[in-house]
Every structure is written in C-alpha cells, then in structure tokens.
Structure 1
Amino acid sequence: MRIGQLARSIGVDTQTIRFYEREGLLPPPDRQDNGYRVYTERHVERLAFIRRCRILELSLAEIHELQRYQGAPHQPCRAINTLLDDHIAHVRSRIIDLQVLEKQLVSLRASCNDDREIEACGVLEGLSEGNMQQ
C-alpha cells in the first residue's frame, strides 16, 4: 500500500508517517521503481501501536523503549511496568498542575462580571498586574 492508504487506514496524516520514519519508530518502507513508498501490514501494525501510545501521551523515547521490549518478547515485564509507572506519575503531576491552573483561571474569571466595560475588565487587569502564581 502507498503512504496515503496507510495514513487513512490508521487515521493519521502522511507527514506524521514521514516523521515517525525519520525518528526511527517506523521501519523504512521499500520503494517501487518510481520512488513511491510501499508499506506492508507490518507498517500498519507498527503505526497503529505508535498511535495508541501517542493517544496515551507516551513520549517518542518511551515508544522507542517499548518497541525495543517488543523485540525481546521473552523478557520479564518489569521494565515495561516501570516505564508505565513513571508515566502514570508524570500524568498525576500534570493533573495537579492543571488543577492549580484551573483555580487561577476561576479566580481570574471571578474578578470580572459581564456588566463591566472593557476598560474596567478585571480579567485584563489581573493579567496585566502579573501577580498570579507560577
């Protein structure tokens, strides 16, 4: 199959496929005499795996690592579980950061009501003062 067919089958852009090839996440495809890339079912499976990993917001480095583990299927899962535990900790940290951000936004929004004119807008005033927590 060609790159457009592969892209449609997985629901990604052709540029994404080229990017994953450059990053070494997808093996380079064979080329036809006319230079067109020719993808196989192996590429479909690999790209689907990458896409599922990206949906879970795994980094490219984490995906590389998982792919290396796939190449050694008789090893214990300990390293994979550690990788996932680290990712879960990262997600939890981001959730806390987003909760702080939400509180800041709610506070900022509460500083203004719809009856004010822009020149007295509490939101713009709060943003201009820059006294928000980082």
Structure 2
Amino acid sequence: MRSGELAAQAGVNAQTLRYYERRGLLTPPPRSPSGYRSYPDEAVTSVRFIKRAQDLGFSLDEIEELLDLADGGPEDCDSARALTRNRVAQLAERIADLQRMQQSLTELIATCQRPREQRSCPILTSLQEGEHP
C-alpha cells in the first residue's frame, strides 16, 4: 500500500511515516517502478504500535527498544516490564512536579485578595523575582 493509505489506516500523516523510517522505527519499504513507497500490510500494525506507545508516554528511543522486544520471545516480557516500570516511575515524578506547580499557583492566586489600590500583583512579582511559595 502507498504512504497515504498507510497513513490513513494508522491515523498519522505521511511525514510521520517518513520520520519513523529515518528514526529506524519503521522499515523503509521497497519502491514501485514509478518510485512510490509500497508498504506491506503489517506496517499498519507497526505504526499503530508506535502511536499507542507514544500515547502511553514512551519516548521514541523506548519505543525502538519495545519494537525490538516485540520481535523476541517470552523472555523479552521481563525487559518490557522493566522498561514500563521505569516509565511509570518517570510519570510519577512528573505528576508530583505538576502537583507542586499547581499548589504554588493556587497559593499565588490566593494572595490576590487585597484591595486593588493596596497591592501589586504577587503572581507577577513572584515570577520576576524567581520565588514561589
């Protein structure tokens, strides 16, 4: 199938396919005599795998490793599990960071209760001074 067909079936655009090829995530397909890429049907499965992994927050480097593991046998489950546990830990750190940012911003908003003529904006002051509650 051609790039446009694959892209439509996998829910990506043709530039994404070429990028995946350059990154080594998708095997470059043979070309037809007229120069068009001719992808095998299983390319749809590969691209969908990549997109699902991205949706779960895996980096392209991690996805490359997952693709390699997917080609292996049952012993590769341990490696996939370890990679996924690492990703979960990274997500937990990111969530904690986001919660801290949310708390800081919530506290800044709460300081805006003074009458207008008696205040300067504590949010802007905090950002200018590099402070946070």
Structure 2 length as normaliser, TM-score?
0.86
Letter of the 2:11 partner, please give it: G
1:71-110 alignment, distance < 5 Å: 71-110=71-110
Which residue is 2:50 aligned to?
A: 50
SS in 2 for 1:31: coil
Task: Say which SS state the counterpart of residue 72 (structure 1) adopts.
Answer: coil
Deviation of the 1:74 alpha carbon: 4.1
- The Cα of 1:10 is off from its aligned counterpart by 1.7
CA distance in 1: counterparts of 2:97 and 2:77, whole angstroms: 30
Structure 2 residue 25 is matched with structure 1 residue 25: yes
Aligned residues: 132
Q: Distance in 1 between matches of 2:15 and 2:84?
A: 28
Instruction: Choose 15-24 or 65-74, whichever is displaced more.
Output: 65-74
Give the CA RMSD over aligned residues. Answer: 2.2
- Residue 107 of structure 2 aligns with an amino acid whose one-letter code is S
- CA separation in 1, counterparts of 2:108 and 2:36? 54
- Give the deviation of 1:5 after TM superposition: 1.7
Query: Counterparts in 2 of 1:61-80, with a 5 A limit?
Result: 61-80=61-80
TM-score, with length taken from structure 1 = 0.86
Secondary structure of 1:105's match? helix
Structure 1's consecutive aligned runs of 4 or more residues displaced over 6 angstroms after TM superposition are none
* Aligned CA distance change for structure 1 residues 24 and 132 (closer, same or farther; 3 Å): same
The percentage of aligned residue pairs carrying the same residue is 40
Determine the C-alpha separation between the residues in 2 that align with 1:45 and 1:5.
Answer: 13
Deviations 1:34-76 (A, max 9, x none): 2111112111010000000000011112111111112212425
Can you list the C-alpha shifts for 1:7-31, whole angstroms capped at 9, x where unaligned?
1212112221111110000000111
Structure 2 match to 1:10:
10
Deviation at 1:121, TM superposition (A): 3.1
